[in-house]
Structure 1
Amino acid sequence: MIDHARHLQDHYDAHAAGDGESLVQRVCAAFLAAGCDPDALSLDEVAGIDQLHLGGRRASRSLADLGVLRPGERVLDVGCGTGGASRLLAAEYGCEVIGVDITPAFVELADWLSAATGQADHTRFLCADAALTPLPDASVDIVWCQHALMNMPDVPGVLAEWRRLLVPGGRVLLHEVVAGDNPAPLVLPVPWARTAATSHLQCREALEASLAGAGFSPLVVRDVTDAALAWRQKHARREAGEEVAGVSLPGPALIFGKVFPTMGRNLRDNLAAGKVRILEGAWRLE
């Protein structure tokens, strides 16, 4: 697990290597360069840096609506990254959110962005392995997870932790990349992995079987690959323009570096070739 954590930290904060600046420092400087006040940012201004999954905020809202979130519900955002979904759920759905991520740079940035956007009172973030969180039993109503399981080698351990943390009848809301029907190797790098050894994709059937084995019953599960591919195609065109457009609001390239447009194009091509698919679903703990 130590190697797993190190690989993820190297992957998601690779752009920091050798420059001596933290991710927070780089993001703060980028907002200043874009003419924004880094101490008073809007959720619109930070959207490009805090929704590191296919579909952006639209996908998060779709999942929240699918799960019928209610004000005051306690949500655990697993693999929260820079905390964008946590802030959206707090601001738009009235939830109390704890985000957990194994990457220290992401947790530090998530805290900073929540303070800068006025969401610190309703979100907090922990640096921990998703399979071993420092939280009490039956302490959350919802487990929320977007594009994170494919970074986790011990899915049964993670699902057992979700079962421990959820109240009876609690729900899992999942938006996930899974292996497609095309068995050909992925075109790499992609946003979650630079090598095949660090990608932990499961096929849909295996993931659903794991959830069932852990005691989660499906409420609704749907394939949203077509919408995800359309979104990725649109953003690939925009990112290509940003390479020569000069100053803009911070986006994923600030984390991944110059390789990010290649990652985005490879993800688009893997989706189009049926090597990966995207699921959205809700499950209930029985």
Structure 2
Amino acid sequence: MKEHSRRLNAHYDALAERGEGSLTCRLREAYRVAGRDPDRLTLDEIAGIDQLHLGGRGASRSLAALGEWQPGSRVLDVGCGTGGASRLLADEFGCEVLGVDITAAFVDVATWLSAATGLGDKTRFLCADAARTPLPDAAFETIWCQHALMNMPDVAGVLAEWRRLLVPGGRVLLHEVVAGDNPEPLALPVPWASTPAESHLQTRETLESRLAEAGFRLEALEDVTEAALAWRQKHSRREGGEPPAGPALPGPVAIFGERFLTMGRNLRDNLAAGRVRILEGAWHRLE
């Protein structure tokens, strides 16, 4: 798994790999340039960098509508990235959230952004392999995962870990990229992969089968590809338009560099061509 971790860190933190400084330092400076205090930020000010999945905060709220939330609900956010969904669940639903991600730079950024937005007491972050976490059994009521399984080669191991970590009857909320019906190779790079070695897309049928085999029962599942494509088309038009007159708040380009413009266009084209699809669903852990 060391090679897997190296590949993902090289993809998600490519600018640091090229010697351009740590992701946290770059983003803090970008906020200073935009006239903001990087230690005192609002959730709206960080919206461009805190939810790196199709649909942004709207997609997270849609997935959250499938949840059964109580104040203090214990949630594990798998593949948390920069921590946006963790903060949304803490802020809007009163959850206690632990985010886990294999990319150390994202964990550092997530920790900083939670402190800067006043949510450091309700969100914590851990750098670990999702298939092998150092967490105790039955520690969570909900597993939350958005656009992360497609980066994980050992899906069976990850799902077994989810079952171990959930209380009996606990729930999995999943918003995931899967392989579409079009067998053509992906247009690369995309936000989750620069080369085929980083992309581990499953078909919908395979994903459903693996969850069932791992001891999870399906509650609800919807194909939300059309909404995701519309969102990506809108953002591609915005990204290809005139640059703002003054310093703008940081967005994905501040994380990935200018190559994100190509990633976004390729993702749009892959969605439109049916090479990938987007699913939103809920499962519960069988006793």
**What band does the TM-score fall into relative to the shorter chain?**
over 0.9
Given that residues 107 and 127 in structure 1 are in contact (C-alpha distance below 8 angstroms), is that contact kept between their aligned partners in structure 2?
A: yes
Q: Which residue of 2 aligns with 1:131?
A: 131
Q: Which residue of 2 aligns with 1:166?
A: 166
> Which is further off, 204-213 or 236-245?
236-245
Q: Which residue of 2 aligns with 1:22?
A: 22
Deviation at residue 22 of structure 1 after TM alignment: 1.1
Deviation at residue 244 of structure 1 after TM alignment: 6.3
Fraction of identical pairs, as percent: 72
- For the pair 1:5 / 2:38, whether they are aligned, the reply is no
Q: Aligned ranges for residues 25-104 of structure 1 at < 5 Å?
A: 25-104=25-104
Task: Mark the runs of 5 or more structure 2 residues left unpaired by the alignment.
Answer: none
Given that residues 87 and 119 in structure 2 are in contact (C-alpha distance below 8 angstroms), is that contact kept between their aligned partners in structure 1?
A: yes
Q: For each residue in 1:102-161, what CA deviation from the matched residue of structure 2 results, as whole angstroms up to 9, or x when unmatched?
A: 011000111000000000000000000000111100000000000000000000000000
Q: Equivalents in 1 of 2:242, 2:271: separation in Å? A: 23
Deviation at residue 28 of structure 1 after TM alignment: 0.5
TM-score of the pair, normalised by structure 1 = 0.98
Residue 67 of structure 1 aligns to a residue whose secondary structure is coil
1:2 aligned partner, one-letter code: K
Given that residues 15 and 21 in structure 2 are in contact (C-alpha distance below 8 angstroms), is that contact kept between their aligned partners in structure 1?
A: no
Q: Equivalents in 1 of 2:219, 2:142: separation in Å? A: 14
CA RMSD of aligned residues (A): 1.0
Deviation at residue 242 of structure 1 after TM alignment: 5.8
Q: Which residue of 2 aligns with 1:220?
A: 220
Q: Equivalents in 2 of 1:191, 1:198: separation in Å? A: 11
Given that residues 270 and 276 in structure 1 are in contact (C-alpha distance below 8 angstroms), is that contact kept between their aligned partners in structure 2?
A: yes
User: 4+ residue runs of structure 1 moved beyond 4 angstroms?
Assistant: 242-246
Q: Aligned ranges for residues 195-210 of structure 1 at < 5 Å?
A: 195-210=195-210
Given that residues 15 and 254 in structure 1 are in contact (C-alpha distance below 8 angstroms), is that contact kept between their aligned partners in structure 2?
A: no
Residue 100 of structure 1 aligns to a residue whose secondary structure is strand
1:228 aligned partner, one-letter code: A
Q: Which residue of 2 aligns with 1:150?
A: 150
- For the pair 1:265 / 2:249, whether they are aligned, the reply is no
Deviation at residue 18 of structure 1 after TM alignment: 3.2
Residue 31 of structure 2 aligns to a residue whose secondary structure is helix
Q: Equivalents in 2 of 1:21, 1:33: separation in Å? A: 16
1:32 aligned partner, one-letter code: R
